[in-house]
Amino acid sequence: MQKTSHSSVENPAQGRHARVDWVAPSATATAPRQSASYQILVVDDEPMICELTERILTEAGHRVRTTVDPHEAIRAVTEDSYDLLITDRSMPLMLGEKLAAAVKAARPAIRVLLVTGSGSDEIIADNIDGFLTKPFTPDSLLSELVEILKTPRRSMSQNRLQALTT
């Protein structure tokens, strides 16, 4: 049985509370920890999402840095090497696709997971390696991480083309 706890955080910029459900990953979750520990940068304008994502990823054995500022994320990738950027799509300071392009310009090998509250159909960007729809579970985050980091790099448009032809 999965353990669930609830958290509420106020986002002063939006003047609202966000309720976030924490569901511990299932025992059968496929986590990348089996063969490697990855360096991951998480960017989201909601601090609670950063904290929960960090918790999921560190419990899976990864090294994680979080920030609510996309400009800080760009500086971070020039100072340190990351395997994966996980970024929210809609942030007040910068859209996730623009952040992905800036990060890829500095570190072309980094993989990018775009997290969005809307559907993925409108996301076609060569700088995006995968997407995850909010709300997401720990299992879905870890599964998407495995998919992105364990397969050869392909652009999102190539992924979309393969999906349409299979």
Residue ranges and CATH numbers for the domains of the chain are: 9-17+32-165 (3.40.50.2300)
Question: Coil, helix or strand for 148?
Answer: helix
Residue, of 144 and 24, whose pLDDT is higher: 144
Contacts of residues 144-149 at CB distance under 8 Å and 24 or more positions apart, as own/partner, are 144/113, 145/31, 145/32, 145/38, 145/57, 145/60, 145/84, 145/113, 146/30, 146/31, 146/32, 148/84, 148/111, 148/113, 149/32, 149/36, 149/38, 149/83, 149/84, 149/111
pLDDT for position 42: 98
pLDDT, mean of residues 5-12: 39
pTM for this entry: 0.73
Query: What is the number of other CB atoms lying within 10 angstroms of the CB of residue 59?
Result: 14
Euclidean distance between CA atoms 97 and 76, whole angstroms: 17
Q: How many CB atoms lie within 10 A of CB 41?
A: 24
End-to-end CA distance of the chain: 35
Report the percent of the chain where pLDDT is more than 90.
Answer: 56
Mean pLDDT, the chain, whole residue set: 77
Burial of residue 49 (number of CB atoms within 10 Å: 0-12, 13-18, 19+): buried
pLDDT, one tens digit per residue, over 111-148 is 999 998 876 555 557 789 998 988 899 999 999 999 99
SS3 165: helix
